[in-house]
A and B are shown apart, each in its own frame.
Chain A
Amino acid sequence: MDISFAEFGAIFAMQGFNGLSVFCVLLLMALGLAIIFGQMGVINMAHGEFLTIGAYTTFFISTLTENYFPQLLPYYFIIAIVAAFLTAGIIGYMVERLMISRLYQRPLDTLLATWGLSLIMQQLFRSVFGPKEVSPILPDWLMGSYQPTETIDIPINGLFLVGVTLTVTAFVYFLIYRSRWGLQLRATNQNRFMSGAVGINTKRVDSLTFALGCGLAGIAGAAFTTIGSTGPTAGSLYIVDTFLVVVFGGAASLLGTIASAFSIAQAQSLLEFFLSGSIAKVITLATVIIILMLRPQGLFSTKVRK
């Protein structure tokens, strides 16, 4: 093969960035689930559908902007992300109040109920928005690539994703570990009865935690319209990877989720480059299974006295 050293370097750089952007995709989807699963112990099978809500919210706002405020098209995406967070969060809040809150301490029932919910939501999307996929209009500044040199193309939507992921992760970290509400959340998670006794409204904490997790999924959904599809089942494409990241990282640890997303993304990205797509997936999954057999609690876990 006639490839110059410079070209090899360019491919190396682009491949490195690819690993980084896969990492951000995985992390962004897993954050919401990590909070819900990690902090509350609820297995939310409908997580992917909250992602879809975010994607459709983006599409809705894109259409609205196109028809009524076409001059705002370059900027609508920022509004769409906020709207996606709020929409998914509010729907998540209602779901928690109406359904999840009645099923605490019954993990298997929650699993089944949320799976049913995911099917209901998918069919609802299909009935409301139609079965065909839609494409929100992406602002020009989000498409295309940034070329630091002649041969290197860094996708701008990839850079955008990295930015969104960093912001959201910082926000979540601050919220959980530095804010008063985060303190209440962690207290409830460690000892529900004592938290109640010192005056924390644990039910309210639960609802807000679930809403936050769903809202984060909404942000992921909005961000993913730049790299993926917007259809009734778009969310289900991500759900398996999301669970993989959270379980592999260790349920109750934010750091674990980050480390897990990073290692899975890099492994996947490198293997795909040197082997082929399906084989890469097989090897990644097999490795994760072996590591989980040796370390069932995941990569990181908080030590608690039993």
Chain B
Amino acid sequence: MTFKAKVNTAGLLAGLLTIPFLLAPIMTNANVPATAKVNTTKLKVDDKFVYVGQLHSATGTMAISETGSIQAERLAIEQINKQGGVLGRQIKIIQEDGASDWPTFAEKARKLTEQDKVAAIFGCWTSASRKAVLPIIERNNALLYYPTFYEGLEQSKNVIYTGQEATQQVLEALNWLAKEKKAKTFYLIGSDYIWPRTTMKIARTHIEKVLKGKVVGEEYYPLGHTQFGSLINKTKLKKPDAIFAAVVGGSNVSFYKQMKAAGVTSDKQTLLTLSVTEDELLGIGGENMKGFYSSMKYFQSLNNPNNVTFVKAFKAKYGPKAVVGDVTQAAYLGPWLWKAAVEKAGSFDVTKVANASPGIELKTAPEGYVKIDPNHHLWSKSRIGQVLPNGQFKVVYESKGLIKPNPFPKGY
């Protein structure tokens, strides 16, 4: 129609110029290693595509947390595809919904590994969901990239843990409280399940044995607990130098709103949490937590070129109001670490990729440089951020070097 009429020399020239770009994929394909060579274990890989699985909760209670991870992994995969994919193959995602239900996670993991035969899975969020899929992943020799900071005490040749394990998150934070805030007495508060309990156990040992401090209270509240008045009064009675908190989910919002209403603000009480990222602050409201601290390896406000580019790309794809929390960033690392390992191994075979993983470095990570330890966890920096009223963090401390992951700490 109008298009034909408007063809002129300029258009023709532009058309000619695009030909090399159109040819580019075909040309790289010529250099692509043969499928039979890079895939000896019957994974779903052909000459053009490699299939990976994505297994998070898009529905149910956990969707609140896992949505960020889903978005970050999709962004990373899209960017990798734009750069030409992995071993010349474009990545295709098979997305499954764990629906916040652990047996569903296990069932979907079985589908992804046995039926779809994906080359890698990016997924899970809670420890419960990871524990549910772990036996299936190991039996079928698949590969899982797990993004959440978690309690440690686990290591599998089939899992790469891209978040921090407990010692990385806890020890630096406690040292910082002792040194900068002169904290001697601590009140430990958590939701009642495996992650807070294990983490607090490590914290208590470190406080008592290393810092020679005192734990004046340690308490756990059922998941979904909404009334924290009594607890807040107890902290007023015990007057700890620092409150160390790992409350999660809807309880988190109740806890901080009620703290503020009871007059417990940052000018009167030091509080450091392990469970509040930019995502949680959306629900809590920055002004309700102003001045409190959070220990994470990543904050959206990190000022380095990698992160500026990453946040910009994330907002371009998911809207200007989107925020990036610690786990979202860790999820973003997954596909990139997998790409690097596959290229190092020169193969999609899970055993070869897993063996190639230790020592893999990522210089383009938004959090800064990271590398994979032989124990399949990441070396990363620990950081402490202070909550600003606008829902962002001001980074007030950063560990000097990378901290070695230590999922099985001795003496704790």
A285 to chain B, nearest CB (A): 10
Residues on B with beta carbons closer than 8 Å to the beta carbon of A221: none
CA gap between A123 and B60 in the complex, in Å? 7
In the complex the two chains form, is A269's CB within 8 Å of B283's CB?
no
The answer to whether the Cβ of B355 comes within 8 Å of any Cβ in the partner chain is no
In the complex the two chains form, is B230's CB within 8 Å of A145's CB?
no
A304 to chain B, nearest CB (A): 35
Given contacts A228-B226, A229-B283, A269-B229, contact A135 B253 (CB under 8 A): yes
Residues on B with beta carbons closer than 8 Å to the beta carbon of A278: 192, 220-222
Contact of A277 among B58, B222, B236, B260 (CB under 8 A): B222
18 A-B contacts, Cβ less than 8 Å apart?
A: A14-B233, A18-B230, A21-B229, A22-B227, A132-B279, A132-B282, A135-B253, A143-B261, A155-B258, A155-B262, A228-B250, A229-B253, A229-B254, A237-B226, A269-B230, A276-B219, A277-B220, A278-B220
Residues on B with beta carbons closer than 8 Å to the beta carbon of A145: 261-263
Contact of B257 among A3, A228, A237 (CB under 8 A): A228
The answer to whether the Cβ of B231 comes within 8 Å of any Cβ in the partner chain is yes
Q: B residues near A, CB below 8 A?
A: 58-59, 61, 63-64, 67, 192, 219-222, 224-227, 229-231, 233-234, 236-238, 250, 252-254, 257-258, 260-264, 279-280, 282-285, 287-288
CA gap between A123 and B234 in the complex, in Å? 38
The 8 A CB mask of A279-299 against B (1 = contact, 0 = none) is 011000000000000000000
Interface residue count for A (Cβ, 8 Å)?
53
Contact of B230 among A135, A238, A272 (CB under 8 A): A272
Residues on B with beta carbons closer than 8 Å to the beta carbon of A233: 61, 64, 250
Given contacts A123-B59, A135-B283, A153-B263, contact A277 B253 (CB under 8 A): no
In the complex the two chains form, is B285's CB within 8 Å of A135's CB?
yes
B243 to chain A, nearest CB (A): 14
| B283 to A, closest residue via Cβ | A133
Residues on A with beta carbons closer than 8 Å to the beta carbon of B284: 135
In the complex the two chains form, is B257's CB within 8 Å of A227's CB?
yes
Given contacts A133-B253, A227-B254, contact A238 B262 (CB under 8 A): no
Contact of B226 among A7, A158, A227, A231 (CB under 8 A): A227
In the complex the two chains form, is A144's CB within 8 Å of B260's CB?
yes
Which 3 A-B pairs have CB atoms at the shortest separation, nearest pair first? A133-B283, A18-B229, A229-B253
Contact of B227 among A3, A132, A133, A268 (CB under 8 A): A268
Q: Which residue of A14, A158, A269 has the most chain B CB atoms within 10 A of its CB atom?
A: A14
The answer to whether the Cβ of A39 comes within 8 Å of any Cβ in the partner chain is no
Given contacts A134-B282, A276-B219, contact A144 B61 (CB under 8 A): no
The answer to whether the Cβ of A256 comes within 8 Å of any Cβ in the partner chain is no
CA gap between A143 and B286 in the complex, in Å? 13
In the complex the two chains form, is B285's CB within 8 Å of A144's CB?
no
Q: Which residue of A17, A22, A237 has the most chain B CB atoms within 10 A of its CB atom?
A: A237
Q: Which residue of A137, A138, A226 has the most chain B CB atoms within 10 A of its CB atom?
A: A138
CA gap between A179 and B67 in the complex, in Å? 49
Residues on A with beta carbons closer than 8 Å to the beta carbon of B257: 157, 226-228
| A158 to B, closest residue via Cβ | B261
Residues on A with beta carbons closer than 8 Å to the beta carbon of B279: 132
Q: A-B contact count, CB below 8 Å?
A: 137
Given contacts A233-B250, A277-B192, contact A3 B237 (CB under 8 A): yes
Given contacts A135-B253, A278-B222, A281-B222, contact A144 B261 (CB under 8 A): yes
In the complex the two chains form, is B250's CB within 8 Å of A237's CB?
yes
CA gap between A22 and B227 in the complex, in Å? 7
CA gap between A101 and B339 in the complex, in Å? 58
| A131 to B, closest residue via Cβ | B63
In the complex the two chains form, is B261's CB within 8 Å of A132's CB?
no
Identify 16 new A-B residue pairs, CB closer than 8 A, beyond the known A131-B63, A135-B282, A153-B263.
A14-B236, A17-B229, A22-B227, A22-B229, A132-B283, A138-B285, A143-B261, A144-B261, A227-B226, A230-B283, A233-B61, A237-B250, A273-B230, A277-B225, A278-B192, A280-B230
| B190 to A, closest residue via Cβ | A277
CA gap between A7 and B229 in the complex, in Å? 17
| A16 to B, closest residue via Cβ | B233
CA gap between A53 and B64 in the complex, in Å? 17
Residues on B with beta carbons closer than 8 Å to the beta carbon of A228: 226, 250, 253-254, 257
The answer to whether the Cβ of A167 comes within 8 Å of any Cβ in the partner chain is no
In the complex the two chains form, is A153's CB within 8 Å of B231's CB?
no
The answer to whether the Cβ of A234 comes within 8 Å of any Cβ in the partner chain is yes
Residues on B with beta carbons closer than 8 Å to the beta carbon of A277: 192, 219-222, 225, 231
The answer to whether the Cβ of A301 comes within 8 Å of any Cβ in the partner chain is no
CA gap between A153 and B237 in the complex, in Å? 13
Residues on A with beta carbons closer than 8 Å to the beta carbon of B233: 11, 14-15, 18, 273
In the complex the two chains form, is B230's CB within 8 Å of A156's CB?
no
| A265 to B, closest residue via Cβ | B227
CA gap between A272 and B237 in the complex, in Å? 14
Residues on A with beta carbons closer than 8 Å to the beta carbon of B236: 11, 14
In the complex the two chains form, is A231's CB within 8 Å of B64's CB?
yes
The answer to whether the Cβ of A54 comes within 8 Å of any Cβ in the partner chain is no
Contact of B250 among A14, A130, A137, A234 (CB under 8 A): A234
| B100 to A, closest residue via Cβ | A233
| A26 to B, closest residue via Cβ | B227
B204 to chain A, nearest CB (A): 15
In the complex the two chains form, is B261's CB within 8 Å of A157's CB?
yes
The answer to whether the Cβ of A246 comes within 8 Å of any Cβ in the partner chain is no
Contact of B224 among A22, A126, A226, A237 (CB under 8 A): A237
Residues on A with beta carbons closer than 8 Å to the beta carbon of B283: 132-135, 229-231
| A224 to B, closest residue via Cβ | B226
Residues on B with beta carbons closer than 8 Å to the beta carbon of A157: 257, 261
CA gap between A227 and B257 in the complex, in Å? 6
CA gap between A273 and B335 in the complex, in Å? 47
CA gap between A145 and B61 in the complex, in Å? 32
The answer to whether the Cβ of A232 comes within 8 Å of any Cβ in the partner chain is yes
A282 to chain B, nearest CB (A): 9
Residues on A with beta carbons closer than 8 Å to the beta carbon of B220: 276-278
A233 to chain B, nearest CB (A): 5
Residues on B with beta carbons closer than 8 Å to the beta carbon of A212: none
Residues on A with beta carbons closer than 8 Å to the beta carbon of B64: 131-133, 231-233
CA gap between A227 and B251 in the complex, in Å? 10
CA gap between A236 and B192 in the complex, in Å? 18
The answer to whether the Cβ of A190 comes within 8 Å of any Cβ in the partner chain is no
CA gap between A233 and B226 in the complex, in Å? 13
The answer to whether the Cβ of A25 comes within 8 Å of any Cβ in the partner chain is yes
Q: Which residue of B262, B264, B288 has the most chain A CB atoms within 10 A of its CB atom?
A: B262
